[in-house]
Amino acid sequence: MRTRARNVKNTFYLTTPIFYPNAKLHLGHAYTMTLADALARYHRRNDEKVHFLAGSDENTQKMVDAAAKAGAEPIAFLDGIVQNFMKLYASLDISYDQFIRTTDTNVHWPGAQALWELLLAAGDLYKKEYEGLYCVGHEAFITDKDLVDGKCPDHGTEPEQLREENYFFRLSKYADALREKIASDELRIVPQSRKKEILSFISGGLEDVSFSRPRRSSWPRGLGIPVPGDDSQVMYVWCDALANYISALGFGRDDALYQEFWPADVHIIGKDILRFHAAIWPAMLLSAGLPLPKTLFVHGFITSGGKKMSKTLGNVIDPEDLIDTYGPDAVRYFLLRHISPFEDGDITREGFKEAYTANLTNGLGNLVARVMKLAEEHLSGPVKLAGEDTIVSGEFAEKVETFRFNEAMDVVFEKIAVADVFMTEREPYKKIKSADASEKEVARRDIESLVRQLASIAAHLAPAMPATSKAILAAIRENRKPENLFPRL
């Protein structure tokens, strides 16, 4: 796609958080996936072999509870929700290469168990008694903070003080090593503010973390990964969920993909799971003697009308509603351009509609329609595009590679503005009707130039708005005005 030399390996491994399938995905999840997808598409067009991983985090008490509430058997319940994940990803054009489920006993469990065994062999797992407040309804420990008037708010019962045996992971041992790797950018954390946040967290010292739970009788066999060599225990979230990033590649099973793609080039995560990914996960890898991921890209949260989306506030925006009304590319456009990738960003239905009308209907859509109408009516055939017409600029590449998607989109929309000005100033639509042959020829060339500008715009839009990019390039190839790209709504 572009010529700038890169002396990096030509594979690119990109992961996303595996989401909990106890509820429908909302716009926040769609946001993570859109960022990841734009990055994956960019790197594919850069001739890199991309592996883009998505998945679901299924071995939790929340899942058992949600299934019970729905009156369903847990695994069947999960199958249904995972299908909804995939449906949303299909409608948003998310081009993931693999979907990992942590209940997959063939793919995920051997990887998580192999990792566990490495931690054990390193002497970093030990058994200890754990004491805490236990909610019988949850069949799990809860903390003081969870209580309302001394009772579990979900079950209305007082928790019991309970002791049980857990395996613990020696996270404390790795605090210095982690600080050094993060400070030196061997494990790069983007943006800087998150790097600072985690460094100060680690400086406060790290405590060992509980890595297993006794197997509860109510848990079906398919849920919860047995601790190797100790069937009375199942893995707790850390080794279970985080291991997905390597189990997906066949770690502990058939590791050809692991050899090819690990370490991950980028783990994309939301700010809520920074500590797991920047402290526990790299410490596990250090303990196991495995390479660390190269970069953690930590995005902010989406709010609606300045507030966290919540059913009670009535400000929840369902990504499927937006996609149904405006189409996938408009949603991707908004998320990538109007939400800062590093800070929290806000969305309202009104703001969305305004951006759609101003920038897509009146901006991009109108430009494409005007240029291609002129081309269809006045050019003898399709403009033959040269390689350079569809190379992305160094400025754009640099912004995408540093995750500044909103600025990368500004680069594209600047090109749209330039083309608009070109059209207004040079008036090819008037001159093409001139009786003067040379003026007519100037107009014809200007139309050709505008078509080339559209091709460049389409190339730059390919990672963010793939369907629009394709539609523009097809219109150019066939020299016809395309269907209305962004109808007025």
Closest distance of CB 29 from ligand MSP, Å: 5
User: Is residue 429 involved in binding ligand MSP (CB under 6 A)?
Assistant: no
Dist. CA 206–CA 226, nearest whole Å: 26
Q: Are 316 and 309 spatial neighbours (Cβ–Cβ below 8 Å)?
A: yes
User: Is residue 29 involved in binding ligand MSP (CB under 6 A)?
Assistant: yes
For ligand MSP, which is the closer residue by CB, 316 or 442? 316
CA angle (85, 87, 93) in 5-degree steps: 100
For ligand MSP, which is the closer residue by CB, 159 or 300? 300
Closest distance of CB 302 from ligand MSP, Å: 4
User: Is residue 302 involved in binding ligand MSP (CB under 6 A)?
Assistant: yes
For ligand MSP, which is the closer residue by CB, 270 or 282? 270
Closest distance of CB 428 from ligand MSP, Å: 44
Which listed range, 15-23, 81-89, 443-451, 480-488, lies at the site for ligand MSP (CB under 6 A)? Answer: 15-23
Which listed range, 256-264, 269-277, 289-297, 370-378, lies at the site for ligand MSP (CB under 6 A)? Answer: 269-277
Query: What residues does 294 pair with on adjacent strands?
Result: none
User: Is residue 28 involved in binding ligand MSP (CB under 6 A)?
Assistant: yes
Residue in 67, 269, 367, 465 binding ligand MSP, rule: CB under 6 A:
269
Three-class secondary structure assignment of the chain: CCCCCCCCCCEEEEECCCECCCCCCCHHHHHHHHHHHHHHHHHHHCCCEEEEEEEECCCCHHHHHHHHHCCCCHHHHHHHHHHHHHHHHHHCCCCCCEEEECCCCCCHHHHHHHHHHHHHHCCCEEEEEEEEEEECCCCEEECHHHCECCECCCCCCCCEEEEEEEEEECHHHHHHHHHHHHHCCCCEEECHHHHHHHHHHHHCCCCCEECEEECCCCCCCCCCCEECCEEEEEECHHHHHHCHHHHCCCCCCCCHHHHHHCCCCEEEEEHHHHHHHHHHHHHHHHHHCCCCCCEEEEECCEEECCECCCCCCCCCCCHHHHHHHHCHHHHHHHHHHHCCCCCCEECCHHHHHHHHHHHHHHHHHHHHHHHHHHHHHHCCCCCCCCHHHHCCCHHHHHHHHCCCHHHHHHHHHHHHHHHHHHHHHHCHHHHCCCCCHHHHHHHHHHHHHHHHHHHHHHHHHCCCCHHHHHHHHHHHHHCCCCCCCCCCC
Six-digit token string for 335: 């998320």
Residue in 12, 13, 19, 262 binding ligand MSP, rule: CB under 6 A:
19
Closest distance of CB 471 from ligand MSP, Å: 29
User: Is residue 301 involved in binding ligand MSP (CB under 6 A)?
Assistant: yes
For residues 76 to 115, the per-residue mask of contacts with ligand MSP, x marking binding by CB under 6 A and - elsewhere, is: ----------------------------------------
User: Is residue 17 involved in binding ligand MSP (CB under 6 A)?
Assistant: yes
Closest CA to 476 of 388, 382, 379: 382
Residue in 187, 242, 248, 288 binding ligand MSP, rule: CB under 6 A:
242
Closest distance of CB 245 from ligand MSP, Å: 7
Closest distance of CB 108 from ligand MSP, Å: 12
Phi-psi domain of 117 (left: phi exceeds 0; alpha: psi -120 through 50; beta: other): alpha
Residue in 18, 223, 374, 473 binding ligand MSP, rule: CB under 6 A:
18
Q: Site size for ligand MSP, by CB under 6 A?
A: 18
Which listed range, 18-26, 106-114, 191-199, 457-465, lies at the site for ligand MSP (CB under 6 A)? Answer: 18-26
User: Is residue 243 involved in binding ligand MSP (CB under 6 A)?
Assistant: no
Closest distance of CB 148 from ligand MSP, Å: 22
User: Is residue 454 involved in binding ligand MSP (CB under 6 A)?
Assistant: no
Residue in 154, 160, 185, 272 binding ligand MSP, rule: CB under 6 A:
272
Question: Looking at beta carbons, which residue is closest to ligand MSP?
Answer: 28
User: Is residue 369 involved in binding ligand MSP (CB under 6 A)?
Assistant: no
Find how far residue 154's CA is from the centre of its chain.
31
Residue in 270, 319, 341, 463 binding ligand MSP, rule: CB under 6 A:
270
For ligand MSP, which is the closer residue by CB, 241 or 368? 241
Residue in 12, 14, 32, 135 binding ligand MSP, rule: CB under 6 A:
32
Query: What residues does 188 pair with on adjacent strands?
Result: 295
Closest distance of CB 210 from ligand MSP, Å: 17
Residue in 14, 44, 50, 57 binding ligand MSP, rule: CB under 6 A:
57
* Contacts with ligand MSP, residue ranges (CB under 6 A): 17-20, 28-29, 31-32, 57, 241-242, 244, 269-270, 272-273, 301-302
